Amino acid sequence: MPTKKQGKKMSQAEATLVNAKNALIGAVIAAIIGGIFILLNGYINKNTPQVEIIDKTGSAASSSGNLGTDNFGQSFTQSNIFSPGNNDNPENQSALGFFKAALQYQSEKNWKAARQSYAKAEELYKKINDIVSLGHIKNNLGNIETNQNNMGSAQEHYNEAINLYQKAIDQSNKADDKKRYRHLQASTYYNLALLYRNNIKDDDKAFEFCQKAADTIDTTAKERLPGRIYFTMGMIKFDKKDYKASVEYFKKSSQYYKNLQADDLMAESFYFLARSYNDLFKQAKNNQEEVSFAKQAIEAYKVALPLFEKNQDDKKVYTLFELGNLEEFLGEYKESVAYFTQAAYLYQLMKEDYNEGVSWERTGLAYQQIEDHHEENCYNAHESWRKALILYKKEKKEKDMDDILSQVVPQVGGGMVCWDEEVAQEFKAIRGK
């Protein structure tokens, strides 16, 4: 971005504005469909915390933190101008120039310049009575005020945008135009939902506006917004621990993203669908429910696992550990071994020694439960526990080291499945006891 020291060099926004003004008459502006300009806030899964220390006796840490927080705001580019003859109108072209310059300033976070350009565009759009473009301006001003932490002003602008889109819906006689305006209105409802969820921290109000967005938008539209709406509704229910409800919303968002082949969003959606099933598994009242929820969680985790991006190791390792845990519950011990082992190696790459140790300990416990090839599996269990013991000693985890020893030290009454006197002596030496 140009600085004051660069003198006469124009910013991209200024160049855009000059070019638009130079083409006031005779330029035929291509129709720019009412798309969505995503600002630089980032997408939901870019700011996720590392997975907390896992509980070796059960599942990985269940706290969601800010996982899945949908914290992007949306700003609209100029849409079609639907009044015949307006495309050649100098005031329209000038308004479009100011609008596009404002968008560029907004992307540069030059809020003052963006407001000034929007104000000039708004004045011109009022003259030609382009209420749809006025709606875009109000929506984008709402985004600016949100970024400036002016929540009252943001809400006011968003509500004005919603009312302008409603006016356009009421005045239009064309079904396709009405559908497009409803999409824009739903997008602004969704922006209000994000404002309440991320800034005001009122999830009840956020859910209310998500519901309005879902009721307004064309749910057959082949694009991401319906999926985002349902995903945010799912996250709100997930955070409230209403897992039966979150399952239903994540199923809807997952299906949208699957149809669009949007792998990044599919990973996030199936991941939280799996976590919802996983939490239902923990709350199950009988074995039949446990088995059912465990299988559904596994299915969803397996969809998410290969879709995680390189910067999502926290989610990937969580998924691997949970798959190991669930497969162990179902008696699929060889599968459990495979997942716990992968989790251990990934924790090693992440330099999380304690969590790596927990994963190796769980690997050993799974090996111990495999019925065939007892001697071979006990050897593999001992190897896994040895790795865990060394890591626990490094982390000074006394109780965890004792848990390892309890698996191999011969005990009165038979002891554990893979007890071994020689291994016990070796482990005691490592333990220093």
- Mapped onto helix, strand or coil, the DSSP state of residue 75 is strand
In terms of pLDDT, which residue wins out, 27 or 73?
Answer: 73
Residue type, 291: V
Q: What is the spatial distance between Cα 272 and Cα 292, in angstroms, rounded to a whole number?
A: 17
pLDDT(92) > 60: yes
Q: Which helix (H) or strand (E) holds 133?
A: helix 131-147
- Is the confidence at residue 71, as pLDDT, over 90? no
**66 pLDDT exceeds 80?**
no
- For residues 358 and 318, the answer to whether their CB atoms sit within 8 Å is no
- Judge whether residue 333 has pLDDT over 80: yes
Q: Which of 391, 381, 307 is nearest to 352 (CA)?
A: 391
Assess whether pLDDT exceeds 60 at residue 58: no
pLDDT band for position 283 (50/70/90)? very high
State the Cα–Cα distance between residues 347 and 53, nearest whole angstrom: 11
Flag the least confident range among 68-72, 189-193, 381-385: 68-72
Residue at token pair 């199936």: 270
* Torsion angle (degrees, nearest 10) of CA 159, 162, 164, 169: -160
Encoded tokens for 218: 């064309």
What CATH homologous superfamily does 74-187 map to? Answer: Tetratricopeptide repeat domain (1.25.40.10)
Q: Please tell me the distance from the alpha carbon of residue 74 to that of residue 104, in angstroms, as a whole number.
A: 14
For 37-50, the three-class secondary structure string (H helix, E strand, C coil) is EECCCCCHHHCCCC
Residue 325 in tokens: 């845990």
Alpha-carbon distance of 329 to 331, in angstroms, equals 5
* Contact assessment for residue 308 and residue 270, using Cβ atoms and an 8 Å cutoff: no
pLDDT band with cut points at 50, 70 and 90 for residue 23: very low
Q: Which residues contact 250 (CB under 8 A, 6 or more apart)?
A: 230, 231, 234, 238, 269, 270, 272, 273, 276
**Can you tell me the distance from the alpha carbon of 107 to that of 39, in angstroms, rounded to the nearest whole number?**
6
The region of weakest confidence among 29-38, 176-185, 186-195, 219-228 is 29-38
C-alpha to C-alpha distance for 215 and 209, rounded to whole angstroms: 10
Mean pLDDT of 249-277: 96
Give the Cα separation of 211 and 97 in Å (integer): 35
Lowest mean pLDDT among 83-97, 183-197, 380-394: 83-97
pLDDT band per the 50, 70, 90 thresholds, residue 79: very low
More confident residue, 50 or 298: 298
Residue 75: predicted pLDDT: 56
SS3 157: helix
Domain chopping of the chain, boundaries: 74-187, 313-432
User: Which helix or strand (DSSP H or E) is residue 290 part of?
Assistant: helix 287-304
pLDDT of residue 325: 98
Instruction: For residue 68, give the 3-state DSSP assignment.
Output: coil
- The predicted structure's pLDDT at residue 433: 64
The reply to whether domains 74-187 and 313-432 share a CATH topology is: yes
Q: C-alpha distances in angstroms, 167 versus 32, 134, 153?
A: 21, 11, 21
Dist CA 18 CA 97 (whole Å)? 8
pLDDT band at 87 (very low <50, low <70, confident <90, very high): low
**Would you identify the CATH topology of the domain 313-432?**
1.25.40
Q: What distance in Å separates the CA atoms of residue 202 and residue 139, rounded to the nearest whole number? A: 20
C-beta separation of 419 from 428 below 8 A: no
- Digit-coded pLDDT (tens) for 122-170: 999 999 999 999 999 999 999 999 999 999 999 999 999 999 999 999 9
Query: How would residue 416 be classed by pLDDT, with cut points 50, 70 and 90?
Result: low
Residue 409, pLDDT score = 83
Least confident range of 229-238, 387-396, 409-418: 409-418
Average pLDDT over residues 258-277: 95
Q: The whole model's pTM is what?
A: 0.81
Q: Would the pLDDT of 349 be above 70?
A: yes
Please state, rounded to an integer, the average pLDDT across all residues of the chain.
Answer: 82
CA distance 390 to 430: 7
Pairing type for strands 74-76 and 36-38 reads antiparallel
* Stronger pLDDT, 68 or 326, i.e. the higher one: 326
Nearest-angstrom CA–CA distance, 367 and 365? 5
Region 356-373 average pLDDT: 95
In the 8-state DSSP scheme, what is residue 195?
A: I
Question: How would residue 37 be classed by pLDDT, with cut points 50, 70 and 90?
Answer: very low
